[in-house]
Amino acid sequence: MSRQDEGRGGADGGPTVTERVLGILSAFGPGAEALTLSGIARAAGLPLSTAHRLVGELAAWGALERGEDGRYRIGLRLWEVGALAPRSLGLRERAMPYLEDLYEATRQNVQLAVRDGHEVVYVERLAHPEAVRVFSRVGGRMPLHATGVGQVLLAFAPSVVQEEVLAGPLPPLTPKTITEAHALRRALAAVRREGVAVCDGMVDPVALSVAAPVRGEDDRVVASLSVVVPSAGAEPRAIVPAVRAAARGISRALGSPAARRRPLGVVTPLTGAAAGEPAGAERGA
């Protein structure tokens, strides 16, 4: 097949050059950060000669980098392009001061995530060296139903997205992960009612997360912020006010009208504070 035919997908309906290139890039991921040429060809389902040519072109552009060990890794040029994604660029810039404040206040893992389809994508993470381990990474993905940030994003997602996720499957990550649709539906209702999600041991048995929604200029939920702490001895009531305050600050920075107004005084069972307002705000604390 000629390169011209290859670009069109060929008479046999095979993949286009673009699909082949995307297949090469998709070969990389957690546990596959560095790959040999033959490993890339195998993962992308390409003949070795085709992989050699395309990988060489990607490396010349800077999308891939070849190390001294002969293996290929994602290149800085691709990272630079990815960092321009509008949903992460402006969001991260405005969120960072509040993420840093929350990190300093808790000395735990602080995460910021957005929804992409039925998954969470982490756009920022601050981790203390002595904090509980987390499995998230910047650019990494997790299922919506199993994480604190995911449950927040799902709770405020369009109803069609909620129903698609509820229809399953809901794979367990630990014995505590919600895997039944009726239980997840109740959890999402609680998130909407209380303004926070508390997930204990759903991703890691020893970790608990507290998450809150971040709203954009039209007051739609555009992201979620969370703190992950050790489950043992954790007091969600003590964490919720700080998480809410940080999420509200980011929302205000993004232009959320609701974040600029005083809450209507809806009291949540978790803190006794008005939804979306740091606990003690009415007392000037």
Note whether 137 and 252 are same-domain residues: yes
Q: Tell me which of 32, 51, 81 is where a domain ends.
A: 81
User: Are 67 and 196 members of one domain?
Assistant: no
Find all residues with CB under 8 Å of 41, minimum gap 6, and list them. Answer: 47, 48, 50, 51, 52
Residues making up the chain, counted from first to last: 285
pTM over 0.85: no
Query: What is the model's pLDDT at position 265?
Result: 37
Domain final residue, candidates 53, 81, 109: 81
Residue tagged 């698609």 (tokens): 164
> Is there a single domain that holds both residue 184 and residue 213?
yes
Domain harbouring 33, CATH code: 1.10.10.10
Residues 108, 53 share a domain: no
Q: How many domains does the chain have?
A: 2
Does 115 lie in the same domain as 70?
Answer: no
Does one domain contain both 183 and 106? yes
Q: Are residues 171 and 263 in the same domain?
A: yes
97 and 15 within one domain: no
What is the Cα–Cα distance from 238 to 226, expressed in whole angstroms? 14
Residue 29's pLDDT is 82
Q: Which of 30, 62, 81 is the last residue of a domain?
A: 81
The tens place of each residue's pLDDT in the chain, 285 residues long, gives 444 444 445 445 678 999 999 999 999 987 888 999 999 999 999 999 999 999 999 999 999 999 989 999 988 888 778 767 666 557 888 999 999 999 998 889 999 999 999 999 998 999 888 778 777 788 888 999 999 999 999 999 999 999 999 998 999 999 999 999 999 999 999 999 999 999 998 998 989 999 999 999 889 999 999 999 988 888 888 899 999 999 999 999 999 998 887 553 333 333 333 334 433 333 233
Same domain, 106 and 157: yes
User: Do 10 and 105 have their domain in common?
Assistant: no
CATH assignment at residue 141? 3.30.450.40
Q: Could you list the residue range(s) of the whole structural domain that residue 263 is in?
A: 86-283
**Same-domain pairing of 69 and 98:** no
Whether residues 51 and 177 fall in one domain: no
pLDDT of residue 30: 76
